[in-house]
Amino acid sequence: MSKIPLAALLPHEITKALNLAQEFRGKQIFKWIQKGTIDWNEMTDLPGSLKPEFASKADPRTSVMESLTGEKDISYKIRIKLFDGLYIESVLLVDDQERKTACLSSQVGCSMGCVFCKTGTMGCIRNLGAHEIVEQFHILVSRFGEISHIVFMGMGEPLLNLDEVRKAIAVFHHPLGKNISLRKMTISTCGIIRGIKDLALHGPHPRLAVSLITADEETRKRLMPCSAANSLEELKGALSLYQKETKKWITLEIVLLKGVTDREEDIRKLINFIPPLRASVNIIPWNPAPGLPFKRPESLRIQWFRSRLTEAGLVVTQRYQKGNSIDAACGQLFVTE
């Protein structure tokens, strides 16, 4: 990359990167970039004499949207080409109250290898830079207008690229930018213990969602190779630490695979796993993906599973199908180039 990417630099970092004599210029440039402006000529409060120099040194955006697909005005998937020719996918979700949520990727592909996830078949090609994470959001905003919520649930494991995710969160949260509350940002992880502890002790403290999938240790190891080094006991300890430091509830995500994670024993072990954590359970009926040998449970089975958890006094939500027809649902993101 020949130019300095600016999308994830804070005002003082822009001042330093561009060797600006006046600190307020860094703030001006930051505000323009966080508005999604990519043309230096449109930054009207900057001196015209300085714009050619800025343009030669720095790039407000390094990524471009290649394609867009949509599903019934409730979900949209964009394919983004990065500066080096690699591709990622990002998703916009719209709920019943027309609240918009950006689902952002943190890596090109994913190294976790969860056997029920299409993204995992790609392996991890590389981490995204913080600017590439922020640029996904800017591209979605440029197409769909203001977005209130962010989830790091796209391609990749966010806690394996934590430094860059941290930088992106700092930009999203900055008062001169979008000023998005940490309560409106969620990191979803496969359960990387060292990353959870790092977040707990050093921040930031967004909402945390964990792909528990099942509380049956052996089944989890078969489905999620990363769990061999991240046992349920150690994971629960890390989640307890996160809760102690943040005072926030945690979401445990359960992917229902027919005959695999929808069993009586899965219910029993999940009920036993949770206390004393303050955690809600998000049930996600499996989203089919080509080449993967699983099935979604029937509707009655899903209802039975949810009812059993509710009867046990757990707080339960269900992820309804969004994006399935355009391969934009959880576990379906995948690029071949």
Predicted structure pTM score: 0.94
Nearest CA-CA partner of 102 in 130, 139, 64, 63: 139
pLDDT tens, residue by residue, 11-64: 999 999 999 999 999 999 999 999 999 999 999 999 999 999 999 999 999 999
Residue 249 one-letter amino acid? W
pLDDT tens, residue by residue, 193-207: 999 999 999 999 999
CB 28 within 8 A of CB 12: no
Q: Three-class SS string for 248-299?
A: CCEEEEEEECCCCCCCHHHHHHHHHHCCCCCEEEEEEECCCCCCCCCCCCCH
Taking residues 201-216, report their average pLDDT.
97
Buried b (16+ CB within 10 A) or exposed e, 72-94: eebbbbbbbbbbeebbbbbbbbb
Enzyme catalytic residues: 89, 330
Residue 318 φ then ψ, to 5°: -130, 130
Instruction: Name the region of 325 (left: φ>0; alpha: ψ -120 to 50; beta: rest).
Output: alpha
Mean pLDDT of the chain: 93
**Token pair 């394919």: residue:** 79
Taking residues 167-174, report their average pLDDT.
98
What distance in Å separates the CA atoms of residue 60 and residue 38, rounded to the nearest whole number?
5
Q: Could you tell me the two tokens for 106?
A: 């943190």
Is residue 17 packed enough to be buried (19+ CB in 10 Å), middle (13-18) or exposed (0-12)?
middle
Distant-in-sequence contacts of 210-213, Cβ < 8 A, 24+ apart: 210/235, 210/239, 210/250, 210/251, 210/252, 210/253, 211/114, 211/253, 211/255, 212/252, 212/253, 212/254, 212/270, 212/273, 213/114, 213/116, 213/253, 213/254, 213/255, 213/261
Going by the DSSP 8-state scheme, the letter that residue 44 receives in this structure is: T
Taking residues 91-104, report their average pLDDT.
92
CA 13 to each of CA 27, 30, 41, 319: distance values in angstroms, whole numbers, following the listed order = 10, 10, 21, 39
Q: Are strands 279-285 and 250-256 parallel, antiparallel or unpaired?
A: parallel
What distance in Å separates the CA atoms of residue 319 and residue 295, rounded to the nearest whole number?
16
Q: Could you tell me the two tokens for 270?
A: 């999940």
Taking residues 285-297, report their average pLDDT.
90
CB 34 within 8 A of CB 171: yes
The pLDDT of residue 261 is above 90: yes
What distance in Å separates the CA atoms of residue 291 and residue 116, rounded to the nearest whole number?
10
Cα-to-chain-centroid distance, residue 62: 20
Domains of the chain: 4-59 (1.10.150), 64-326 (3.20.20.70)
What distance in Å separates the CA atoms of residue 112 and residue 226, rounded to the nearest whole number?
6
Confidence at residue 289, expressed as pLDDT on a 0 to 100 scale: 84
**Token pair 């496969």: residue:** 190
The pLDDT of residue 323 is above 60: no
Q: Could you tell me the two tokens for 266?
A: 């899965």
Confidence at residue 60, expressed as pLDDT on a 0 to 100 scale: 97
What distance in Å separates the CA atoms of residue 86 and residue 37, rounded to the nearest whole number?
23
Confidence of residue 290 (pLDDT cuts 50, 70, 90): confident
Residue 107 φ then ψ, to 5°: -145, 160
The pLDDT of residue 327 is above 70: no
CB 134 within 8 A of CB 97: no
